[in-house]
């Protein structure tokens, strides 16, 4: 039995290996579980809100608090205030109508480096902070005005713990207040913000498809312009709508809901939209079109020295609402056709307005530059240097085809 | 217990499978950055060309092996080039798989320590990894072969996971379809020693394979074809979802592309963790094959009876080199060195040996007639 | 060891003192090959003899009967060679010599006695002892399919197998094992199917057993392996005759031990423990699904608590935020670290299982209720463990109950704690390592040349995949398991020359 003989030798080696393995196990066990951190011993960061450090000067109480919420810094200045919304695990059930503890709480800190502030917050917290469930990043306009967006999001994209699909918001007001906001349904604040932006599929007044930290990071890498959803907060009312427009590192301006809608038409990211147009026969009435399928072609053209873009949109949807008192003969195909044209008119006007708005600001959210370069790599070289001059003059030729497929349940 | 059937032999298909499973490892993760940086949106073309080139090297090795059936490189090289030079070539030969083990160990442990842990000391991860590799290598080839056949299932699973990044695919990122400079496409071809490592194993494994309906060259060719196809498609979708600039700026583009996939409504999140976990068995296979090739090659060269004898000998070497390479600078040097050595061996030494073998054969054939 | 007439082990160096081990090994290997080849040749010769015998025979008969009783007897004995349950009695019927051939256990000896023997004044087996009637299979009941099961009587058990097949190639060799008990052990196999050499190997192993008593089948089982510490069973113990016969026609051996209702089938590998009789009585698509889920259950039975620890203590980011927060809130109420908590619950689970098995049947139902309801909920209320962990551990327990073989299920339990420790020390990395180590370990186990797990995904055994992870329709299952290396590879009877 030759196997038995050779096994004897191997068994010796194997035994030694096993002995080494056991030794290793003992070693591992005695030195502790590597980087094990129980889920309940983690403070989950849900929202990271970044404000200008000067925010504390608004009220005297804040100013006094700020003395504690910081650390001695040898270098740099106190630029930002980082407020972290953390999940409260010791939530009492609130039995018998007792006061229910908040789902979340907020810690703030003032400094320059986000990472350093993050670690200094540990001075206020009994558990260490974990960012793996970060749901939203809120940055105030004032903070961006300081040195732009880049220094703020660098930490968020450098650390391997971060996710790339984290939602990011710009607020003209105070970001800390949004972190402190308590949603009426008792949900954790961060999840609430995340959910709000997920509605972008139905809410055309904001944009959520390509605006998270991953896409913004890509846009920055590629020198492309980008947009970040705008969040307004006044007096315990939170509202999402419009976009903050960025060129490279700097905030150039805001797009209101109307322009946002137009940008999304150009981009072709409207999955569902409500478009209201004037009734072609009764100017006082509004006919509302509910879009549920669209097909958008946004194509660059170069003919000689002429550069232009065409935008072909085919929209399908229903009549969603007729807001008016006049009697409309909705079963008349000719009338419906006029309605279709009116809606198409509205849409193309909207797209053109958004286009011109961007040209005036010198901003290029649909990335026309890359589209031109991609489609015409050789011709692109001839005007690459003059792009900034050429861009505001490029016309957009819009053709919209609206197709009403249903008139609703009750007329 | 008597083994009633010799199960250490493998069929040509199994040989093809073994070589294929050695190719794809975690080693490609850091290299992808360089590939995208140089070849830009044409990384896929670069990979396809490299696949062709490396298959050519593998083909030469099969031809070389067929000149000396039932013998491994350690046995016929001294006859071809003399004892001293033969030993030198043999040394180069076993250094390549050793470097593969070291490179795999370094990438996989740093991957785990960065993404799954909070900068755990790499030593701990490395010891456990090497022990696991050794445990498998201590088995006989029949068992190792069967282990490979099971763990290779992780490869399609990994690729299925990876294919989820088609969700973020945007054709715009791949445009324009005309490269700015053509040399950029050719430049990263040597980096592909990280994409196609381990086929040198052929020089030791060929005697373990028995002839079948399909030739070795064709079975291995299918393996290369599959892997090259995976790379081509993989790099297209990678650049398409990440953009060239981002791909060249992140440390491990594949992981970051995976990071940017979210499947709302499913139970799983952070798909990159699953992907890293799946990279473990895939890389493990390559390490085991390489270790076995080193041990078996030495067994044949030193005419010992058991390949197990050599396994403990190389362990300290692998361990200390892996530990020594602990900063990016040393790592870059190591990668360059392994690249150079693998290219030198595949494209200079092997053709030379093949030439010598043909000449020797011609001479011996002529001798009886004269 | 006085009378080791069958085997005597020596150190190689004492037998061949002057040659190197390498040389001797090579010689030995050559010898082994020769022996193996001669066995194959012998098997082939037997086939040829059989075919020759049959040439002149009438349809349905194995050979041509001659007028000479001695020749006939020789031919019968040849055909039924190595069938120790066949009894021969020669007697004189008037002037003529006669031969009575009957199968012990299948023949009613009483009737034989009154109708045939009494008038011939012969004595047949007159031994009489108390025995249990053949009853329903208690541990491996199948919803469809036959319900009879083995009892403790060897002749009954052989008869149960014999009744299911009229194959003259079914050989029954009866050996005596146990220096004092002298227990009869029957070795059953189909002569023209089983891999050449396998029978000799097993027979030699059986004969080499040196113990004084054989009470249980397990007494024999443990001597059939080298890997004595291996928790996984390397023979399949069954109490179902149909399963035994099916195993025989796969090209396996079965060992029936007197006084034991469990019959051993070998060689077997992991996939055989995942198969149940019900797989073949339900529709193939359903059976495939069930079988696949069994493999997943086997995985969960080992790794589920480990994965729980990974998620809870290392990578909470891997589950959706909502669920993660929910688990964190649950865990916040319990004082122990996840690993201790899981170990605690594991211990409880093991205690439950053991208690329920040991208790009499009526009480065990009560114990089950106590365990499941009272302790399960109170453990959570007492904040010793959280509700999710209870779900996890309960699922683990249930998953291990899915295994058709209890011995196999217990083996899975052995690996649960090491997996848990691996997860507690190195998280997902530890689990990945442990998984790989388990795969290597299972592949390294060999039973008669088969890899325990490795053959499941062997690409040279593609035919076997049809009845591995999935169960293909019977139409496709035309070959015997290729991994068993049977002589006759197809299941069609005609090709092997069988009538």
User: Searching chain C, which residue's CA lies closest to the CA of residue B145?
Assistant: C454
- What distance in Å separates residue A220's CA from the closest CA in chain B? 9
Q: Calculate mean pLDDT across residues A240-267.
A: 92
Which among C21, C316, C322 has the least Cβ separation from residue A39? C316
Query: Measuring CA to CA, how many Å separate C420 from each of C194, C208, C297, C428, C485?
Result: 42, 40, 17, 11, 39
Q: In chain A, whose CA is at the least distance from the CA of B256?
A: A164
The pLDDT tens digits of the residues spanning A341-359 come to 999 999 999 999 999 999 9
Q: Please tell me what DSSP assigns to residue C16.
A: S
pLDDT at residue number C45: 87
**A32 — contact with chain B (CB < 8 Å)?**
no
How many Cβ atoms from other residues are within 10 Å of residue B300's Cβ? 19
Q: Do B5 and C485 form a contact (C-beta atoms < 8 A)?
A: yes
Name the pLDDT band for C362 (thresholds 50, 70, 90): confident
Task: Provide the pLDDT confidence category of residue C11 given band limits of 50, 70 and 90.
Answer: low
Dist. CA B192–CA B31, nearest whole Å: 8
The verdict on A209 touching B (C-beta cutoff 8 Å) is: no
**Helix axes of B154-163 and B216-242: crossing angle, nearest 10 degrees:** 30
Distance CA A273, CA A320 (A): 11
Query: Averaged over B55-71, what is the pLDDT?
Result: 91
For residue B142, which residues of chain C lie inside 8 Å, CB to CB? 451, 454
| CA–CA min distance C344, chain A (Å) | 17
In 3D space, the residue among C216, C158, C149 whose CA is nearest the CA of residue C183 turns out to be C216
pLDDT at C469: 85
At B217, list the tokens: 């060259």
Reported as a pLDDT band with limits 50, 70 and 90, residue C55 is confident
Which of C31, C40, C318 best probes binding to B when mutated, by most B CB atoms within 10 angstroms? C318
Cβ pair B30, B316 in contact under 8 A? no
pLDDT, position A52: 92
Comparing CA positions, the residue from A33, C307, C421 lying closest to residue B118 is A33
pLDDT in tens, A38-54: 888 889 999 999 999 88
**DSSP element (H, E) containing C347:** helix C338-358
CB B257 within 8 A of CB B238: yes
Q: Is the pLDDT of residue C493 over 90?
A: no
CB of A282 less than 8 A from some CB of B: no
Which residue in B5, B125, B143 is closest to C449 by CB distance? B5
Q: Which two tokens stand for residue C145?
A: 């399919």
pLDDT per residue over B108-164, tens digit each? Answer: 999 988 888 877 788 888 888 998 999 999 888 989 999 999 999 999 999 999 999
Contact between chains at C21 and A5 (C-beta distance less than 8 A): yes
Residues of chain C with C-beta less than 8 angstroms from the C-beta of A30: none
Identify the band that residue A27 occupies on the pLDDT scale cut at 50, 70 and 90: low
For residue A357, CA distances in Å to A245, A263, A347, A363 come to: 11, 10, 15, 9
Smallest Cα distance from C333 to chain B, Å = 24
* Closest Cβ opposite residue C317 in set B11, B270, B305: B270
Contacts with B145 from chain C: Cβ below 8 Å: 454
Residues with Cβ within 8 Å of A98's Cβ and at least 6 positions away in sequence, in order, are A92
d(CA C108, CA C126) in angstroms, rounded, equals 12
Are A101 and A72 in contact by the 8 Å Cβ rule? The answer is: no
Dihedral in degrees, nearest 10, Cα atoms A210, A216, A220, A221: -80
Per-residue pLDDT at A308: 93
Express each pLDDT in A110-169 by its tens digit: 999 999 999 999 999 988 899 989 999 999 999 999 999 999 999 998 888 888 889 999
Task: Spell out the domain ranges in chain A.
Answer: 39-255, 267-406
Nearest CB to A21 within list B120, B131, B262 = B131
Query: What is the model's pLDDT at position B370?
Result: 42
pLDDT for res C496: 43
In this prediction, residue A13 carries a pLDDT of: 65
Proportion of chain C above pLDDT 70, given as a percent:
91
pLDDT of residue C498: 42
Out of B27-36, B276-285, C314-323, least confident range: C314-323
What pLDDT score does A5 carry? 40
Q: Give the residue, A291 or C58, on which the prediction is more confident.
A: A291
Using a CB–CB cutoff of 8 Å, tell me whether B267 touches chain C.
Answer: yes
**Cβ distance A296 to A268 under 8 Å?**
yes
Predicted local confidence at residue C7, as pLDDT? 54
ipTM over 0.95: no
pLDDT digits 0-9 by tens, B190-202: 999 999 998 999 9
Residue C382, pLDDT score: 83
Taking a C-beta distance cutoff of 8 angstroms, is the pair C491, C477 a contact? yes
Q: What is the pLDDT of residue C117?
A: 63
pLDDT at A32 over 70: no
Q: Is the Cβ–Cβ distance between A125 and A106 less than 8 Å? A: no
* The length of chain A, given as a count of residues: 411
* Chains B, C: CB pairs < 8 Å: 123
Give the Cα separation of A398 and B10 in Å (integer): 65
* CA distance to partner chain A, nearest, from residue B28 (Å): 19
Cα-based distances in Å from B321 to A24, B27, B99, C139: 20, 16, 9, 56
Tell me the average pLDDT across C382-407.
89
Chain C: give the shortest CA distance to residue B5, in Å. 6
Pairing of strands A273-278, A286-303: antiparallel
Q: Which fold has domain A267-406?
A: GMP Synthetase; Chain A, domain 3 (3.30.300)
Residue A104 CA to residue A86 CA, distance in Å, equals 5
Q: Which of B136, B151, B143 is nearest to B291 (CA)?
A: B136
Query: What is the Cα Rg of chain A in Å?
Result: 28
Helix (DSSP H) and strand (DSSP E) numbers for chain A: 13, 13
C23 touches chain A (CB under 8 A): no
For B261, left (φ over 0), alpha (ψ -120 to 50), or beta? beta
Q: Is the pLDDT of residue C292 over 90?
A: yes
Q: Which two tokens stand for residue C255?
A: 């060992």
pLDDT at C4: 41
- pLDDT, one tens digit per residue, over B4-51 is 455 678 899 999 999 999 999 999 999 999 999 999 889 999 999 999
Which residue, among C459, C431, C150, C490, has the nearest Cα to C305 in the 3D structure? C431
C331 touches chain A (CB under 8 A): yes
Tens-place pLDDT, residues A360-371: 999 999 889 999
pLDDT at C439 over 70: yes
Look at residue B95 in the predicted model and tell me its pLDDT. Answer: 94
C427 contacts on A by Cβ (under 8 Å): 34-36
Arithmetic mean of pLDDT, C63-89: 83
Whether the predicted pLDDT of C495 surpasses 80: no
Whether residue C379 is predicted with pLDDT greater than 60 in this model: the reply is yes
Closest CA to A409 of A322, A295, A345: A322
pLDDT score at C139: 78
Long-range contacts of C408-413 (CB under 8 A, 24+ apart): C408/C232, C408/C233, C408/C273, C409/C301, C410/C231, C411/C231, C411/C232, C411/C233, C412/C298, C412/C301, C412/C302, C413/C301, C413/C350
Enter the tokens of residue B96: 């390549």
As a whole number of angstroms, the longest Cα–Cα distance in chain A is 102
Sort out which chain A residues have CB atoms less than 8 A from C332's CB and list them.
40, 89-90
Q: Give residue A29's pLDDT.
A: 56
Mean pLDDT throughout C419-439?
90
- To the nearest whole Å, the CA of B232 is away from the closest chain C CA by 26
CATH number of B12-353: 1.20.1740.10
Helix, strand and coil in chain B, % to nearest 5: 80, 0, 20
Asked if B259's CB is within 8 angstroms of A221's CB, the reply is no
Mean pLDDT along residues B59-68: 92
């Amino acid at each position: 039995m030759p196997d038995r003989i050779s096994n004897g030798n191997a068994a010796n080696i194997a035994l030694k290996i096993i002995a080494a393995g056991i030794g290793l196990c003992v070693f591992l066990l005695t030195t502790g579980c590597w980087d094990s951190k129980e889920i309940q011993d983690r403070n989950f960061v849900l929202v990271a809100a970044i404000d200008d450090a000067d925010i504390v000067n608004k009220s005297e109480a804040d100013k006094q608090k700020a003395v504690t919420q910081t650390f001695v810094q040898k270098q740099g200045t106190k630029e930002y205030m980082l407020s972290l919304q953390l999940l409260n695990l010791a939530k009492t059930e609130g039995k018998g109508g007792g006061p229910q503890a908040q789902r979340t709480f907020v810690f703030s800190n003032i400094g320059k480096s986000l990472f350093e502030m993050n670690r200094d917050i540990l001075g206020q917290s009994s558990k260490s902070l974990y960012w793996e469930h970060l749901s939203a990043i809120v940055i105030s306009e004032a903070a961006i005005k300081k040195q732009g967006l880049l220094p703020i999001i660098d930490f968020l994209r450098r650390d391997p713990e971060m996710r790339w699909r984290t939602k990011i918001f710009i607020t003209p007001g105070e970001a800390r207040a949004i972190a402190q906001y308590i949603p009426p349904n008792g949900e954790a604040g961060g999840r609430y913000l995340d959910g709000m932006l997920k509605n972008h599929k139905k809410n055309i007044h904001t944009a959520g498809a390509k605006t998270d930290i991953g896409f913004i990071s890509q846009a920055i890498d590629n020198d492309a312009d980008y947009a970040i959803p705008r969040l307004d907060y006044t007096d315990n009312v939170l509202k999402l709508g419009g976009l903050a427009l960025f060129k490279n590192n700097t905030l150039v301006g805001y797009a209101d809901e109307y322009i946002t809608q137009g940008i999304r038409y150009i981009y072709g990211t409207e999955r569902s939209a409500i478009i209201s147009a004037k009734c072609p026969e009764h100017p006082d009435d509004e006919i509302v079109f509910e879009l549920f399928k669209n097909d958008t072609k946004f194509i660059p053209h170069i003919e000689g020295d002429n550069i232009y873009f065409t935008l072909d949109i085919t929209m399908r949807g229903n009549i969603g609402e007729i807001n008016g008192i006049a009697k409309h003969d909705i079963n008349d195909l000719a009338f419906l056709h006029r309605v279709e044209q009116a809606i198409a008119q509205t849409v193309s006007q909207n797209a053109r307005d958004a286009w011109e708005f961007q040209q005036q600001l010198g901003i290029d959210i649909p990335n026309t530059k890359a589209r031109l370069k991609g489609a015409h790599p050789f011709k692109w070289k001839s005007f690459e240097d003059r792009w900034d001059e050429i861009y505001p003059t490029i016309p957009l030729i819009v053709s919209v085809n609206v197709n009403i497929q249903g008139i609703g349940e009750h007329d | 217990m008597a083994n009633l059937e010799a199960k250490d032999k493998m069929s040509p298909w199994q040989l093809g499978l073994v070589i294929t499973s050695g190719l794809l490892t975690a080693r490609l993760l850091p290299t992808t950055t360089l590939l995208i940086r140089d070849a830009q949106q044409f990384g896929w073309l670069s990979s396809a060309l490299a696949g062709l080139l490396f298959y050519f090297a593998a083909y030469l090795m099969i031809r070389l092996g067929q000149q000396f059936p039932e013998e491994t490189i350690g046995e016929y090289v001294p006859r071809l080039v003399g004892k001293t030079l033969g030993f030198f070539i043999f040394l180069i030969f076993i250094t390549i798989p050793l470097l593969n083990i070291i490179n795999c160990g370094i990438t996989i442990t740093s991957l785990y320590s960065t993404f799954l842990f909070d900068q755990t000391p790499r030593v701990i991860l490395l010891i456990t990894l090497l022990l696991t590799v050794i445990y498998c290598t201590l088995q006989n080839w029949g068992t190792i072969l069967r282990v490979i056949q099971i763990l290779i299932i992780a490869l399609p699973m990994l690729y299925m996971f990876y294919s989820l990044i088609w969700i973020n695919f945007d054709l715009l990122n791949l445009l324009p379809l005309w490269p700015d400079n053509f040399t950029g496409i050719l430049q990263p071809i040597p980096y592909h020693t990280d994409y196609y490592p381990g086929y040198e194993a052929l020089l030791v494994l060929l005697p373990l394979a028995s002839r079948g309906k399909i030739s070795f060259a064709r079975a291995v060719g299918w393996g290369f074809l599959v892997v090259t196809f995976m790379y081509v498609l993989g790099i297209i979708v990678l650049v398409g979802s990440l953009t060239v600039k981002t791909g060249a700026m992140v440390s491990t583009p594949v992981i970051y592309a995976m990071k940017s996939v979210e499947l709302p409504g499913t139970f799983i999140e952070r798909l990159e963790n699953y992907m890293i976990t799946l990279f473990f068995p895939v890389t493990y296979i390559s390490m085991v094959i390489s270790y076995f090739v080193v041990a078996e090659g030495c067994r044949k060269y030193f005419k010992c009876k058991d390949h197990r004898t050599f396994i403990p000998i190389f362990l300290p070497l692998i361990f200390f080199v892996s530990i020594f390479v602990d900063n990016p600078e040393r790592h870059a040097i190591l990668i360059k060195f392994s690249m150079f050595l693998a290219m030198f061996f595949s494209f200079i030494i092997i053709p030379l040996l093949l030439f010598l073998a043909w000449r020797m054969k011609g001479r011996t054939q002529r001798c009886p007639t004269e | 060891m006085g009378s080791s007439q069958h085997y005597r082990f020596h150190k190689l160096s004492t037998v061949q003192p002057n040659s190197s081990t390498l040389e001797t090994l090579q010689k030995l290997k050559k010898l082994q090959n020769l022996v193996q080849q001669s066995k194959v040749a012998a098997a082939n010769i037997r086939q040829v003899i059989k075919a020759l015998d049959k040439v002149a025979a009438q349809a349905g008969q194995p050979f041509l009967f001659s007028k000479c009783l001695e020749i006939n007897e020789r031919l019968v004995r040849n055909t039924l060679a190595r069938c120790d349950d066949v009894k021969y009695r020669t007697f004189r019927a008037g002037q003529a010599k006669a031969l009575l051939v009957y199968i012990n256990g299948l023949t009613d000896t009483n009737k034989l006695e009154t109708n045939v023997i009494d008038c011939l004044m012969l004595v047949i087996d007159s031994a009489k002892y108390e025995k249990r009637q053949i009853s329903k299979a208690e541990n491996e009941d199948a919803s469809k399919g036959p319900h009879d099961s083995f009892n403790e009587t060897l002749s009954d058990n052989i008869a149960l197998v014999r009744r299911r097949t009229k194959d003259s190639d079914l050989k029954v060799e009866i050996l005596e094992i146990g220096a004092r008990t002298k227990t009869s052990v029957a070795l059953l196999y189909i002569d023209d199917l089983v891999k050449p050499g396998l029978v000799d190997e097993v027979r030699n192993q059986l004969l080499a057993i040196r113990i004084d008593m054989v009470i249980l089948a397990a007494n024999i089982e443990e001597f059939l392996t080298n890997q004595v510490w291996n928790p996984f069973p390397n023979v399949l113990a069954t109490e179902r005759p149909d399963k035994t016969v099916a195993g025989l026609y796969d090209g396996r051996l079965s060992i029936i031990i007197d006084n034991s209702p469990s019959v051993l089938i070998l060689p077997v590998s992991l996939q055989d423990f995942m198969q149940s009789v019900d797989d073949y009585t339900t529709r193939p698509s359903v059976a495939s699904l069930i079988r696949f889920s069994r493999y997943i259950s086997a995985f969960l039975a080992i790794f589920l608590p480990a994965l729980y620890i990974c998620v809870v203590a290392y990578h909470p980011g891997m589950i959706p935020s909502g669920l993660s927060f929910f688990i964190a809130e649950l865990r916040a109420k319990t004082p122990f670290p996840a690993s201790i908590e899981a170990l605690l619950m594991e211990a409880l689970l093991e205690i439950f299982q053991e208690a329920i098995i040991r208790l009499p049947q009526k009480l065990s139902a009560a114990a089950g209720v106590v365990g499941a309801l009272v302790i399960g909920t109170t453990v959570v209320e007492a904040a010793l463990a959280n509700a999710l962990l209870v779900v996890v551990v309960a699922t683990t327990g249930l998953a291990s109950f899915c295994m058709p073989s209890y011995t196999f299920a217990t083996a899975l339990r052995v690996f649960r704690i090491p997996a848990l420790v691996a997860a507690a020390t190195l998280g997902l990395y530890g689990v990945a390592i442990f998984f790989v180590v388990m795969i290597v370990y299972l592949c390294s186990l060999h039973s008669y040349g088969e890899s325990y797990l490795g053959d499941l995904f062997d690409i040279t055994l593609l035919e076997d995949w049809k009845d591995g992870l999935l169960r293909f329709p019977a139409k496709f299952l035309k070959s015997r398991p290729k991994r068993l290396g049977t002589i006759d590879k197809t299941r069609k009877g005609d090709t092997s020359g069988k009538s």
